[in-house]
Structure 1
Amino acid sequence: MTGDPADRQPPEPRDRPRGRTADPARDRFLRWARTLLSHHHGEHGVHQDADLARTVYQTSTMSALLDGVYDGDVTIADLLTHGDFGLGTFNHLDGEMVILEGVCYHLRADGTAGVAAPGDRTPFAVVTRFVPDVTVRVGAPATRDDLVALIDKSITSTNLIHAIKISGVFAGVRTRTVMAQTPPYPSLTDATAHEPVTESTGVTGTLAGFRTPDYEQGISVAGHHLHFIDDEHSHGGHLLDCELAHGVIEVSSSADLHLSLPTTESFLAANLSPSDVAAQIRRSEGG
């Protein structure tokens, strides 16, 4: 059948009841709603959007931590709704944080470690739902630089955010753990200037953290930022150096970042754009 295309009418949507007049706006809405539901729910209403599931969630910024903003408004219970893997610190800069398999561990400067309380709060943390895309088995001794090279060789792009998990037997691990501060808070470079450093040998454990793009410097820590915890969950801290005897590297990549900013007075008044932000991060992170 032929005719002038201008005279042809589009077929009615199949879900429109007989006798109902065409409503383009309503039809567009129905198509949008069906598309949205197909992304967020499976056959039985189960969330199946893999990209959303592995979104990287971050509270506050590294530049705020540099400026002494050590009190946040996000609880550990809230944080764990956004991911089962990550790192960070606790209010007052009281130690280091490691999250593995949905459990948040509090690593203190006195060498003790334990499970964080749900009501504890964090001024800075980064979490995601860890779904490994890449697995690299390491059968020979590897230094920290060797591990960094293996990670960077295995990822598709340095412009995405990559959660990193390295588990195995470590010939040596050198970590530091920040000490709780009291107001008025010093800058992070001052607070970390005399922090205790711990060296362990022949320890089995896990490194957890992120490989973050250079363009995020100041928002997060650009490069490789890792925390260590032993398998007994008895000690650990911010990684300074290590040698892996043998183990496994796993990488979970993400193209989505959810940045949640505090509304505390200290954050609102902070200097978040220092001219030497990269140098400050290197000094405070031991790099």
Structure 2
Amino acid sequence: MEHHLTDCFCAEELSSTVTALQQQRPESVIYQTSLMSALLSGVYEGSTTIGDLLKKGDFGLGTFNHLDGELIAFDREVYQLRADGSANEARHDQKTPFAVMTFFRPQYRHPFSQSASREEVHQVINQQVKSDNQFCALRLEGHFSQVDTRTVPCQHRPYKPMMQAVEQQPTFHFNQRNGVLIGFRTPQYMQGINVAGYHEHFITEDRQGGGHVLDYQLHQGILTFGEISKLVIDLPEDADFLQANLNPDDLDDAIRSVES
């Protein structure tokens, strides 16, 4: 009973902390459930629901339990992009082992009237948000000449490490499509806790396909983005997480391998 009460207290305390920070500056808080290093180690089941995530933010990305597809959230809508190429609105009772959410309140807007590569889009953000020590949330909406994505297939116990799970991931190529791309730029010191650098997901305008972004070429569109300087992390307490190796020797290489 004491453990149950402690769990409730911690959950209430976390929720009140996030709420208090959001009231001070709504756009300044990132909420994260679990760690990227846990996902790498095969911790593919979490207890956080999509409904829980939407209490912490209206914008974000992640995955679903069993690595069953990519998660993309914006405008308080959450979609599941699966390895069979399908895209569906996620149910509030579905669960995630890893997700990053925020209430998206961008401070900057940059229209692109001409074609721009992924690197050129990132340069616009880097020139405005010069310090690598801050998080940045971004949204790019418009017409894309090309978007290359991947989606990890659903996994089953006994779980393989993520580096092995992604070996069979399908890739998708979207040409001349309207859509929404959202993501985060994460500081290098966060590697392992999150994904350092740019991490982006895409969904088509008709909400019928998308995935984890490998590369893209924008034809024209609008980029909005903003800095974030506060982070709240909810760590799991289940056996899979507690027994996982969260600091492997090849952590940086492994994350770059599965995310690139």
Same fold judged by TM-score > 0.5? yes
Q: Over alpha carbons, which structure has the higher Rg?
A: 1
> One-letter code of the match for 1:187?
P
> One-letter code of the match for 2:209?
H
CA deviation map 1:68-114 (0-9, x unaligned): 00001101101110000000000000000000101110111101111
Q: CA deviation at 1:157?
A: 2.1
Whichever structure has more helix as a proportion of its residues is: 2
Q: CA deviation at 1:54?
A: 3.3
Q: Distance in 2 between matches of 1:277 and 1:164?
A: 25
Number of residue pairs aligned between Structure 1 and Structure 2:
241
Q: CA deviation at 1:59?
A: 0.2
Gaps spanning 5+ residues in structure 1: where?
1-38, 41-46
Aligned position for 1:267? 241
Whichever structure has more strand as a proportion of its residues is: 2
Q: Is the CA contact 2:153–2:168 (under 8 Å) kept in the aligned structure 1?
A: no
> One-letter code of the match for 2:25?
A
Asked if 1:249 is matched to 2:199, the reply is no
Match of 1:50 among 11, 18, 25: 25
Q: Secondary structure at 1:109's aligned position in 2?
A: coil
Match of 1:82 among 56, 66, 84: 56
> One-letter code of the match for 2:254?
Q
The equivalences for 1:1-150 within 5 A come to 48-51=23-26, 54-150=28-124
Per mean C-alpha deviation after superposition, the further-off stretch among 264-273 and 141-150 is: 141-150
Q: TM-score, normalised by structure 1?
A: 0.82
Q: CA deviation at 1:232?
A: 1.0
Q: Is the CA contact 1:208–1:227 (under 8 Å) kept in the aligned structure 2?
A: yes
Q: Distance in 1 between matches of 2:119 and 2:161?
A: 29
Gaps spanning 5+ residues in structure 2: where?
1-18
Match of 1:234 among 202, 208, 227: 208
Match of 2:198 among 224, 231, 235: 224
CA deviation map 1:153-176 (0-9, x unaligned): 121422111111111100001000
Q: Secondary structure at 1:80's aligned position in 2?
A: helix
> One-letter code of the match for 1:196?
P
Q: Distance in 2 between matches of 1:252 and 1:186?
A: 36
CA-atom RMSD, angstroms? 1.4
Aligned position for 1:209? 183
